[in-house]
Amino acid sequence: MKFDWSYFWQSLLAPSPQFLNGLALTIIISVVAMALAFLLGLVIALMGRSRFLPFKLFASLYIWVIRGTPLLVQLVIIYTGFAAAGLFRFEDVDLFGAIIKGAVQAAIVGLMLNESAYISEIVRSGLESVDRGQNEAALSLGMTPMHAMRKIIVPQAIRTMVPPLGNSFNGLMKSTSILSIIGVSEMFQVGSTMSASTFKVFEIYIVVALYYLLLTTVWTFIQTAIENTLNVRAGLPPAESVFKRLFGVRSRKQQTTSTPALQPADIA
């Protein structure tokens, strides 16, 4: 086997500025897209629960279409397809002195739309996991349905929503690798360019893989901390340890006491 160890270590420990820019872009796109997707997902979930029929229909149609088509195809339609048809073109914009490339905007919009459909299902099941009696108690105290939702239902639903939302975010960070198809210079794209110019294909992609692993691992720590904070606030035992989570060693006892199985559909 041919493996250039010195090149590998150098790329891993002292990555080039382009690679670091790619890494930063991956993180920024992931975080922004996730935040927007959460808001949109919340809106779609609330529309799905609405008594107003057109809202309900729109929500189910949206979820059906978005979950039923691949992210890659959605991205290409949004960025290339719309522009080719003369419908809409993502132009570079200047945001507080930083140039945001059209492709980056399309990437964020695409990931947001895609992720929001999954998130709306997570939100829906989270809201449904709260006992109906909680809502009735809130109403009986004179709260409006909206007030009951904000102060009684959502704070309790959040706790069940965090683990599947965390999984979503984990998937989203990895999904950014396909953004190279619309020319976003995120980490994977930078890696491809480097491998094309140096022919160190194996070394480069191993480094890329390790950086994705680093991102998702750091996220696992953050997610565990969030869950623990919420559990402490709700007076529940702490979530299982990060190491058990990472390496899949889960004791039986913890499986039975962990939060209800709210498994999100696998992210495409």
Partner 1 sequence: MTMYTEPAPTERGPIVQAVNVCKSFGDKRILTDVNLEVARGEVVVMVGPSGAGKTTMLRTLNGLEAIDSGEIRVNGELLGQRVNKQGKLVERSARDLARQRANIGFVFQHFNLFPHMSVLENIWHAVVEVKHESKSEAVAYARELLGRVGLADKADARTRSLSGGQQQRVAIARALAMRPALMLFDEPTSALDPEMVGEVLAVMRDLANAGMTMIIVSHEMGFTREVADRVVVMDAGRIIESGPPAQVFATPQHERTRQFLSNVLA
Interface ranges with partner 1 (CB under 8 A): 131, 133-134, 136-147, 151-152, 155-156, 233-235
Q: What is the DSSP string of 54-82?
A: HHHHHHHHHHHHHHTS-HHHHHHIIIIIH
Query: From CA 54, how far away is CA 44, in angstroms rounded?
Result: 12
* 75 or 148: CB nearest partner 1: 148
Q: Give min distance, CB of 227 to partner 1, in A.
A: 15
* 137 or 222: CB nearest partner 1: 137
* 233 or 250: CB nearest partner 1: 233
Which residue has 């409006």 as its token pair? 144
Q: Give min distance, CB of 235 to partner 1, in A.
A: 4
Q: Could you give the residue ranges of the DSSP H alpha helices within 89-200?
A: 102-128, 132-140, 145-148, 154-175, 187-198
Q: Give the DSSP H or E segment for 244.
A: helix 242-247
Q: Give min distance, CB of 126 to partner 1, in A.
A: 14
Please, are residues 129 and 138 in contact by the beta-carbon 8 Å criterion?
Answer: no
* 147 or 250: CB nearest partner 1: 147
Query: From CA 5, how far away is CA 8, in angstroms rounded?
Result: 5
Which residue has 């719309």 as its token pair? 82
Q: Give min distance, CB of 149 to partner 1, in A.
A: 11
* 133 or 248: CB nearest partner 1: 133
Q: Give min distance, CB of 233 to partner 1, in A.
A: 7
How far lies 139's CA from each of 123, 124, 142, 143, 145, in Å? 21, 20, 5, 5, 7
